[in-house]
Each structure stands twice: as structure tokens, then as C-alpha cells.
């Protein structure tokens, strides 16, 4: 099975998100070249200042096929990321990058999220001859989806092929694991960091000023906002489970030695907003209110939630092709937060999100086969003259 071989090779390319993704990107580059794609690899810095690579590629149809397309055809793009989450605490019976097969599963970091789905997309494209195409196939890969999604933002704002896809009124498929269910909506992400500052000193001297004492009133306010967000109808979308922002709070101290007073206390807030809610007003209120407390906003990252209306051509066509009736909503976020210039965008991929990020990550061989078959149907429907 070609998809299995491709997935094994790809998983073997170590690409932990806080390290380099170069090997995985170069492997992907070589596969796309073999499939006849025009490829561009560009360097960029992720949110942590680490050099990463992003890839954009396109395979045009023969000139004699241009304009032959039926009414449902359109340029199509597949979106993926090359990075995987860290392997700390890995507990599978095989190494995280050994890509072993056992019990009807392919094991390894990224097997499910999302090297397996990407391999399925490559295998599907391999079944399509360029001579069959009447529309271009685009392929985009970022390198930091698991640590900030800066690559997706840059792709959407500084990529010739992405601009071309938009100008051609193309459609997009993001290959995150959904058990091949059509997902037309997912949550976004908002990360705020508020910092209070004290004076670090030996705790025996009494000369220090603990930054945590300044932070406590602000934490009390955030607790009230969190409780409000759980019950406010304007902040909840019942199409999602859970329906709320699931506001998470983390406190980081520096230094952390017990006999030194804390000089800096950083309060990290992470929200997962849903579409069609007033989450932006909620965030703006928190930011504005922080000016009344002894804290400073040191970081703000907002990624808008995604929703493509169910009656859009991509959603309805994918449902029909995969034998489904209703699109799904999911609570995780994808690079799609930055791709909303596309009118038609869905998330579809083999494997379950329940297996992603686990210390024993795997994807079933059956799902890889279904992914290849499903992608082949979708890619052909939109880009080929005979469907």
C-alpha cells in the first residue's frame, strides 16, 4: 500500500515543533517534485524565533484542458503542517520515529497528527494523472502549527500561490484528523499574557517585593470573567462540545527558588473562541480592564474561529462524496484560522483526534486507506474533467 510506505518514511523524519522541521519539509518537497509540482520552500522565524521552513506548491493542468471543467470543478488546495508535538513521556511499544506497524496500526509521533493524513493526500494525488486535470492542485505546508501558527499567518499574507488560489476562487482542505468526517467549523485561539513585576531579593532580607501579591487582585477579576463566560449565551455556541471558551489560566514565576522573592509573575490566559459569538468584545474588555490593575499586557495572539456555511459548494460536495449528511464542529484549532480569505474551507483527515498528541500516538491502517480513497474522490471532483 503506497500510503503506508509514504507515512512510514514521513514519520521517520524527526520534526518536533520546538526543533527543526527541515528534514520533513525537504522530504515533502521531494515527493511533490516527483508528482510534477512546481515547489517553493521559504525560510521564516516562528513565534519562538526558531528558523522554520514553509512550502507552497502547484500542479497545473495541461494548457489544452483549461476551460474544459464542468460546473462543480475549482482549483483545490491541500493544507498541512510538518511539525509534531514533543515526545517527552513517550510510552508506545515502539520508538516515536521508528514508524512500526503492529495490530493493524502505524505507530509514531505524527502518525495521526498529521503525517498520516498528509501521506494519504500524496497517495491520492498520485492516482491523478496531470492529463486528467482541468484545474490546478495546490499544496501548502507550514512548520509551526503546534507552537503558534506563524507560518500560516505568513502564508496567508506573503505567498504568491496562496494569493493565486484566492484569485481563482479556489477551495481548501485541511488534513487534520477527523476520522474522515467533514468538519466545516472549529474553534479559534486567543493567548494573552499579563505580567506583574516585583523585586527579587533574598527572602531573609525583607528587601524584596513579591510580584505575586500584585497579581492576586487581577486573578480574582479573571476568575469572575471565567465564571461569566461559562454561562453567557453570547459567548457560547451550542454546536460545539464544550460550547464555552474553556478559559485556561497558567501562572509562571521567576525566579522559582523558595528563598528568593518572586521578581516577575506572568499570568497566561488561553481561550478557545467559537464562531458567531462575541468573544472579541470579551477579550477587549479584559485587555482594557487590565489598565486598572498593576499588570501589563506583554503578549496578545488572537486566531479567529473558522466556519464555512453548510450550503457552500465545498461542504455540500464533500458530504455527498463521503456519504455523509451533516458537517461537524470540532473544538480544536487548525492553521485554518489564518486562511479565512478562502470562502470554501473544510477540515477532513483520516485518524481520530483522540489519538493525536498521545504518548502512544498511532493511526489505523484502515483509516489511512479510507483517507486515500476519500481524498482521491474529493480531489478528482474539483480538479478533473472526468469524476
State percent of the chain over pLDDT 90.
93
Last residue of a domain, one of 253, 284, 303: 303
* Same domain, yes or no: 92 and 194: no
What's the CATH code of the domain at 254? Answer: 3.30.70.360
Nearest to 136 by CA among 76, 194, 183, 208: 76
* Same domain, yes or no: 323 and 342: yes
How far is C-alpha 373 from the chain's CA centre?
A: 23
Mean pLDDT calculated for residue range 59-88: 84
DSSP one-letter code for 61: P
Nearest to 187 by CA among 230, 249, 246: 246
> Mind listing the pLDDT tens digit for each residue in 127-147?
999 999 999 999 999 999 999
DSSP one-letter code for 151: H
* Same domain, yes or no: 30 and 122: yes
DSSP one-letter code for 85: -
Instruction: Give the domain extent around 256.
Output: 189-303
> Which contiguous run of DSSP H or E holds residue 190?
strand 189-197
Q: Are 105 and 363 in contact (CB under 8 A)?
A: yes
* Same domain, yes or no: 138 and 210: no
> Mind listing the pLDDT tens digit for each residue in 331-386?
999 999 999 999 999 999 999 999 999 999 999 999 999 999 999 999 999 999 76
C-alpha cell at 130: 496531470
Confidence at residue 48, expressed as pLDDT on a 0 to 100 scale: 87
C-alpha distances (whole Å) from 90 to each of 10, 37, 67, 94, 95 are 19, 36, 51, 9, 8
> Mind listing the pLDDT tens digit for each residue in 276-286?
999 999 999 99
* Same domain, yes or no: 62 and 112: yes
What's the CATH code of the domain at 37? Answer: 3.40.630.10
Nearest to 336 by CA among 165, 155, 190: 155
* Same domain, yes or no: 24 and 131: yes
How far is C-alpha 17 from the chain's CA centre?
A: 12
* Same domain, yes or no: 95 and 221: no
Within 10 angstroms of residue 352's Cβ, the number of other Cβ atoms is: 18
Helix (H, G, I), strand (E, B) or coil at 103: coil
State percent of the chain over pLDDT 70.
97
Nearest to 10 by CA among 25, 18, 1: 25
Q: Are 75 and 138 in contact (CB under 8 A)?
A: yes
Quote the number of domains for the chain.
2
Q: Which residues pair with 268 in a beta bridge?
A: 193, 250
> Mind listing the pLDDT tens digit for each residue in 188-238?
999 999 999 999 999 999 999 999 999 999 999 999 999 999 999 999 999
Measured CA angle at 376 (ends 32, 368), to 5 deg: 85
C-alpha distances (whole Å) from 231 to each of 100, 106, 212, 236, 331 are 46, 42, 29, 8, 18
Model's pTM, two decimal places? 0.92
Q: Are 161 and 58 in contact (CB under 8 A)?
A: yes
Last residue of a domain, one of 281, 303, 325: 303
> Mind listing the pLDDT tens digit for each residue in 253-311?
999 999 999 999 999 999 999 999 999 999 999 999 999 999 999 888 899 999 999 99
Within 10 angstroms of residue 305's Cβ, the number of other Cβ atoms is: 24
Count how many residues are written for the chain: 387
* Same domain, yes or no: 68 and 114: yes
**What rounded mean pLDDT belongs to the chain?**
95
* Same domain, yes or no: 17 and 116: yes
Confidence at residue 300, expressed as pLDDT on a 0 to 100 scale: 84
* Same domain, yes or no: 90 and 155: yes
Could you give the maximum distance between any two Cα atoms of the chain, in Å? 83
Residue bearing cell 507515512: 7
Half-sphere exposure in the Cβ direction for 361 (13 Å, CA):
29
Q: Are 351 and 363 in contact (CB under 8 A)?
A: yes
Last residue of a domain, one of 285, 303, 321: 303
| Model confidence at 252: pLDDT above 90 | yes
* Same domain, yes or no: 20 and 131: yes
Q: Are 181 and 236 in contact (CB under 8 A)?
A: no
C-alpha cell at 218: 487581577
* Same domain, yes or no: 167 and 243: no
Q: Are 379 and 124 in contact (CB under 8 A)?
A: yes
Nearest to 218 by CA among 245, 233, 197, 188: 197
* Cα 167 to Cα 170: distance, rounded to the nearest angstrom: 8
Amino acid at each position: 500500500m503506497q500510503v503506508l510506505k509514504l507515512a512510514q518514511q514521513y514519520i521517520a523524519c524527526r520534526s518536533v515543533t520546538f526543533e527543526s522541521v527541515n528534514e520533513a519539509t525537504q522530504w515533502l518537497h521531494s515527493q511533490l517534485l516527483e508528482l510534477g509540482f512546481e515547489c517553493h520552500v521559504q525560510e521564516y522565524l516562528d513565534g519562538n524565533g526558531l528558523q522554520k521552513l514553509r512550502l507552497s506548491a502547484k500542479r497545473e493542468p495541461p494548457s489544452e484542458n483549461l476551460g474544459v471543467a464542468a460546473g462543480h470543478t475549482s482549483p483545490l488546495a491541500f493544507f498541512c503542517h510538518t511539525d509534531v508535538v514533543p515526545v517527552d513521556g513517550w510510552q508506545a511499544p515502539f520508538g516515536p520515529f521508528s514508524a512500526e506497524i503492529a495490530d493493524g496500526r502505524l505507530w509514531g509521533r505524527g502518525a495521526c497528527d498529521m503525517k498520516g493524513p498528509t501521506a494519504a493526500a500524496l497517495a491520492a494525488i498520485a492516482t491523478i494523472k496531470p492529463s486528467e486535470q482541468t484545474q490546478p492542485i495546490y499544496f501548502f505546508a507550514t512548520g509551526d502549527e503546534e507552537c503558534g501558527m506563524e507560518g500560516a499567518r505568513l502564508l496567508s499574507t506573503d505567498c504568491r500561490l496562496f494569493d493565486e488560489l484566492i484569485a481563482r476562487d479556489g477551495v481548501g482542505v485541511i488534513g487534520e484528523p477527523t476520522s474522515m468526517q467533514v468538519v466545516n467549523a472549529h474553534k479559534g485561539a486567543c493567548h494573552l499574557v499579563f505580567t506583574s513585576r516585583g523585586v527579587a531579593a533574598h527572602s531573609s532580607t525583607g528587601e524584596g517585593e513579591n510580584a505575586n501579591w500584585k497579581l492576586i487582585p487581577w486573578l480574582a477579576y479573571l476568575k469572575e470573567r471565567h465564571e461569566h463566560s461559562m454561562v453567557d449565551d453570547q459567548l457560547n455556541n451550542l454546536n460545539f462540545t464544550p460550547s464555552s471558551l474553556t478559559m485556561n489560566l497558567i501562572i509562571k514565576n521567576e525566579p522559582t527558588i523558595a528563598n528568593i522573592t518572586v521578581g516577575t509573575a506572568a499570568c497566561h490566559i488561553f481561550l478557545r473562541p467559537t464562531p458567531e459569538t462575541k468573544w472579541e468584545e470579551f477579550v477587549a474588555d479584559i485587555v482594557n480592564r487590565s489598565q486598572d490593575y498593576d499588570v501589563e499586557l506583554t503578549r496578545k495572539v488572537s486566531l479567529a474561529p473558522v466556519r464555512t456555511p453548510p450550503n457552500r459548494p465545498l461542504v455540500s460536495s464533500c458530504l455527498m462524496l463521503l456519504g455523509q449528511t451533516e458537517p461537524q464542529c470540532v473544538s480544536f484549532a487548525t492553521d485554518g484560522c489564518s486562511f479565512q480569505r478562502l470562502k470554501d474551507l473544510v477540515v477532513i483527515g483520516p485518524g481520530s483526534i483522540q489519538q493525536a498528541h498521545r504518548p502512544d500516538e498511532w493511526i489505523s491502517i484502515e483509516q489511512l486507506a479510507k483517507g486515500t480513497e476519500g481524498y482521491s474522490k474529493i480531489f478528482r471532483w474539483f480538479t478533473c474533467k472526468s469524476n
